[in-house]
Structures are given as C-alpha cells and as structure tokens.
Structure 1
C-alpha cells in the first residue's frame, strides 16, 4: 500500500465543510485495521456553534442497511429463518399479493415492492414507523416487476426486514441491534434511535442550504423508520464496526461473503447489490460502497476488503457529494492520485447512482 498522503491533500477535499457557520463532516480512513486518518470539519450544531468531532453522531440514513442485513444474517446462522423463505410465511400481515417475495429479494433489492414513501403525503405530520410500512404497501396490489427478475432500490424492503427481525427474535429491532450487533462489535453509543426511548450522544443536527445560509432540517415524516435508515453513529464507532466485519466477529466468513457478493439476475447480469452493500469491480478490486441521504444528512462509505482499506465520510447537510470525496480519499491511499493533485483515473460513478430513491 502506498504511503499516506499529506494532511493538506486531505483537508483540501473538505474545504466546503470548514467554512464559518457551515455544517460539518467527520471522516475516518481505516487501513489494515488501524486508523490512518481521523478528522472532523465544521459544526455539528450551528445554533450552539458546537464543533464536529470524530465522536459526533450522525443519522446514518441508508448506511443503516448494512446493520439491518447483519441482523438477518445472524438469525439465518441460528437457523431461525432462511433466505429463501417467503416473507408472508414469516411475517404476519405482509400483503398477500406479495406472496412470491422472499427474504433474499428484500436483502438484494430485487423484490419489486413499491417504495412506501410514494404513499406518504407531503402534508404528513405524524412520523411513519416500520410497522406502518405494511399498511402503506397494502395501498397497491402489484410490484414493479416479478420478484427476483430485476433490481430497484427499495427502502420498503429494509423496513420489512426490520419487522422480520422483530417477529423472529421476539424483541424490538432496536433492542436486537443493541444486544446482538452493536454491543458485540464494541459500539458503545451507536443507537437505532426511538424518540422518547433512546438518546443520541454528541448529536449532529441536519441542515439544508438556503438563500440565507443554512437552515435546520433534521427530521422528515419518514425519519422514524429504523430498518432503512434510523441508526445514529460516529466515525469512531464505525471503526469498531469495520473491525468486527473484517474479523468476522459476528457471523462466519462464508456468511459475510454473502453480504459482499452481488445477486445475479435471471439474464445473468449482476444486481450489483449484496446484503446491505453495493458491490462492484474497481480495476480488479472488489469494492463495497453505500451512500446515505436523508433530511439534513448525506454520507458515504467505500470499502476494499482485500486491500483492507475503508473510508467513511459523514456530513450533516443535505446535498454535497461525500461519496466522491470518499472515493478520492480511497484513491489517495491506493496511490491512484498524486497528493499534489496530479493525474489519476477519474472517479467512476458508483453503482447506486443508477438506482432511484437511495434513502
């Protein structure tokens, strides 16, 4: 692995996040299981001028999906469910018209089920929760395509997976994550946040750019749905998560390999999604990626398992392109871009950019 770049080369990528009165960003680069870089920029909360730090907790949005997938994998290893189980056989109340949908389809975004957000009116004031997704899915009687035949990114799928975890385990999804995923990974303060039940330490608040600067936008009507995006964590905590994944501390190596292997479609093409991760080939390297985008937050992770390199960028603002920054950082560590801004292969579009409704 090439020598780490100069700090100035890293800082230059985060200029937009270090401006006065600007929402910030936290970043970690993990190389060979160790922190190669951990930095933070800007503000976690504008009103109190609280600085962002590596310990700042952001709402992860769709970075949460890898944890939901892990919960399902844990139950599968215990023999409490199978990936090929029809969801309707496992989850009471799952709409009958979705009888061909299997758990594997939900994990790989090949279920074809509708996006629950399509049925949430713009005037909604009460927050939607995971259990409400079943009723929302009952407002239609068809799928986008026959399950297993195509790929379409689905927040509904991961909300349903959270309900499966609750049904099979007999405990709440948040409790299962804490007891079976977060605590064993050494993630002491990460939480699937439930208002009035749990608290978020060192919390970043979300913002959106407006004509007068930045305005608060921390929650939306779907912010309480946990399975697709309701986890709060920090780059420090995600360091522990990354170590647990690489050490196969939660599930066996062959089980973890399933998460990092893209599903295949009937025509032989790749769905480019495993269990909670986008998967593609980057110049012969297996690359795992995800981005998270929700009200007031935008994040990215890029991971090269064979090279033992992971980059995570968390930000508390809507918009921006932290996935491009994360890839540029990865390229720096992979030696594909000179620290002084010299020539290198252009950052390729990530797989999720071809799929709608990334949450």
Structure 2
C-alpha cells in the first residue's frame, strides 16, 4: 500500500473506533433481551451488536465469557469466529490480487505444488467459491489421532489423495479444505505467514487491535471468551478440538467492537478496492443451502442479505449485513447451542420493519 493510501486508511479506520469508544452500552431493549434470555445469567453467554449507518444502535453482552471465574461477556470479549473467519481469508486473497501477486484464475498448484495431479484444474476462484471439488480434510483425519492439525497438515492430508469429489467448477460443495489452502497460498504469495499478513494488512490498518488469527504459544487472545458445551445439564469447557488450530477456515478471534470496524471497511475503499468488494459480494456460484441462493467469496448471499455463520466446538456465531439499509447484526456466542441465526434474523427485523 502506498504511504498516502496507508495514512488515509489509518485515519478512516479511526472513525468507527472513535464512535464506539464514545458509545455506552445500549439501554435495555425488552424485545432483544427477551430473545437473548437463554444466554443471560451464570451461563456461557453471547454478545449482540446492531449497526445502522455506522453507529451502534444496540450493543450488549449476556452471560459469562469464562464460567470458571465468572467473567462477564462484554462488547470487547473475543470469540473464536469459526467460519466467519472465511471472509478475512477471502479479503487477504483479494488484497494480493490488487498487489499483482495473485490472480483469481491461477491454478492452486502454482502455489501449492504438493497437491496431487487430480487437483491440477483447481483455481483460486474455485477455492474461494467452494467449487473446487476438494475432499473435506476432516474426513481424511485419523480419528484415533488427538493432535491438532494445522493448515499445513490439511495440505499434507489432501496431497495423499489423488481424487476429487467432482470436477473443479462443476458444482458447489462447502469446503473447509479450500480455505485452509487459501491461507497457505496467502502466506507463500506474501512471503510471510498468514497470521502476520492479516495483522499487517487488515487488522492493524483497520484498528482491530485485539483481533488475531490465534496460534497457541505464539500469541495471546485478549479478553478471551472460552467455548462450552452442555453435558448432562452442566456446562463443560469444550474450547478446542483437533481442527481448532486450522486458521484459514476458522481460526480468527474477534469482538463486537473490532467487527464493527471491519463492517465499516466493507462500505468504502479504506481496505479493499471497489472492484474487490464487488467480487467478494457477487454471486460466484448457486447453492442448495437454506437461505443461501449464491455464495460469493467468504460470504453467503440471499437477496439483499449478505451473511455467514460460524460453528465450531463451543462457539456459534453469525453476521448479517443488509448493505442497502446500512444495517448489520452480529451475534457471537461461546456455547454449543442454540444456533444464533434465527435470533439474528428476528433482531434485524426490528429495524428492517422501520426502514422499508
């Protein structure tokens, strides 16, 4: 990024930060508080943010971020985003396309020659849009091996399988494998590692000071919300699984306040060019998923709503965006259930009904 552009991006990134710093917690809302009642009290909780025209019109935490010591969820609590992370992986690829280091229709094997011959036809565009035909790496893991796998391990698992589920580009099939490979491609094209690239090119410029692609033993997650599952009526910490260390498909931790800065950047040129944002939110392929007519790059598309969920052991999250209304709803939770997507839709409806 040119120095002048970097200065402009830095100044712009401060704007949502200032607005959030000045915004108190939203006053109680009987309707939303009623929807979120299951998360309230001495149980694993959730955080809810509603943004309209760039301003936080509702911003509250419920329940506990750490059950063992009673730490409450706040808008600054950092949750494992799970598959909500994919939009950041896609943005990293698009930044490198803008830099001229990557091209969407390049073969993935240009950067990952370890991939088998069957993968020769797979392009970066197909990895981004879940049309590559790659096998799901979780299906290739040894169930008896309890060690955590990383993005490089995903590549090794796929390298041993000279077969695909279908011909590249012929159909849609949601693929965590593809996004793990994209993280490796970003690192190799950038000459750094994926986590460092995200920090230098996305998180720091946008003022997302506590967002991190978490690597155990390398970094710390500030104000961390730990994941829990209800087992026999009791909440047990289930924060990590064997796949929790894979970064490209789901390894980012972030908070409501940092995600507000991310949301703001999706409306202008402070991070991505207009062409890149158009590519991210344009239908790349049709899907058969519920409430998803098409998939873009790291985003599910359903009419005027752009959204993505994130589910991993101990965490359930969702972000809904209605760009034409400048409305965004984010729900992050550190528990295995319930799925927050229906709640987020109901919360969004409270504003959409007045914005028709």
TM-score (norm 1): 0.88
1:44 is paired with a residue whose SS is: strand
Structure 1 residue 296 and structure 2 residue 314: aligned? yes
The correspondence for 1:41, drawn from 39, 47, 62, is 62
The correspondence for 1:206, drawn from 222, 227, 232, is 227
| Equivalent residue number for residue 298 of structure 2 | 276
The structural deviation recorded for 1:133 is 0.8
State whether residues 57 and 234 of structure 1, in contact with CA within 8 Å, keep that contact through their aligned partners in structure 2.
yes
Task: Give the helix-richer structure, 1 or 2.
Answer: 2
Cα distance between partner residues in 1 of 2:33 and 2:267: 28
Offset from partner CA, 1:137-171 (integer Å, 9 cap, x none):
13322211111111000000000000000110000
| Equivalent residue number for residue 138 of structure 1 | 159
| Equivalent residue number for residue 154 of structure 1 | 175
Cα distance between partner residues in 2 of 1:300 and 1:254: 25
List aligned pairs for 1:238-317, cutoff 5 A: 238-264=259-285, 272-281=294-303, 286-317=304-335
| Equivalent residue number for residue 14 of structure 1 | 36
| Equivalent residue number for residue 72 of structure 2 | 51
User: How has the CA–CA distance of structure 1 residues 115 and 51 changed in structure 2, closer, same or farther, with 3 Å as cutoff?
Assistant: same
The structural deviation recorded for 1:211 is 1.1
| Equivalent residue number for residue 347 of structure 1 | none
Structure 1 residue 332 and structure 2 residue 354: aligned? no
Offset from partner CA, 1:57-115 (integer Å, 9 cap, x none):
00100000000000000000111111000111122312221001000000000111011
List aligned pairs for 1:80-229, cutoff 5 A: 80-229=101-250
1:302 is paired with a residue whose SS is: strand
Mark the runs of 5 or more structure 1 residues left unpaired by the alignment.
338-359
State whether residues 263 and 271 of structure 1, in contact with CA within 8 Å, keep that contact through their aligned partners in structure 2.
no
The correspondence for 2:100, drawn from 54, 72, 79, is 79
The structural deviation recorded for 1:288 is 0.4
The structural deviation recorded for 1:10 is 0.9
State whether residues 60 and 299 of structure 1, in contact with CA within 8 Å, keep that contact through their aligned partners in structure 2.
yes
How many residues of Structure 1 are paired with residues of Structure 2 in the alignment? 326
1:327 is paired with a residue whose SS is: helix
State whether residues 227 and 335 of structure 2, in contact with CA within 8 Å, keep that contact through their aligned partners in structure 1.
yes
TM-score (norm 2): 0.88
Offset from partner CA, 1:2-40 (integer Å, 9 cap, x none):
xx9971111011010003x31000010010011111001
Cα distance between partner residues in 2 of 1:23 and 1:31: 27
State whether residues 66 and 276 of structure 1, in contact with CA within 8 Å, keep that contact through their aligned partners in structure 2.
yes
Cα distance between partner residues in 1 of 2:116 and 2:43: 45
| Equivalent residue number for residue 338 of structure 2 | 320
Give the alignment's Cα RMSD to 1 decimal: 1.8
Offset from partner CA, 1:172-215 (integer Å, 9 cap, x none):
10000000011111101100001111000000010001113211
Offset from partner CA, 1:323-359 (integer Å, 9 cap, x none):
111111111110179xxxxxxxxxxxxxxxxxxxxxx
User: How has the CA–CA distance of structure 1 residues 213 and 165 changed in structure 2, closer, same or farther, with 3 Å as cutoff?
Assistant: same
The structural deviation recorded for 1:251 is 1.2
| Equivalent residue number for residue 251 of structure 2 | 230
Cα distance between partner residues in 2 of 1:232 and 1:80: 27
Cα distance between partner residues in 1 of 2:209 and 2:264: 14
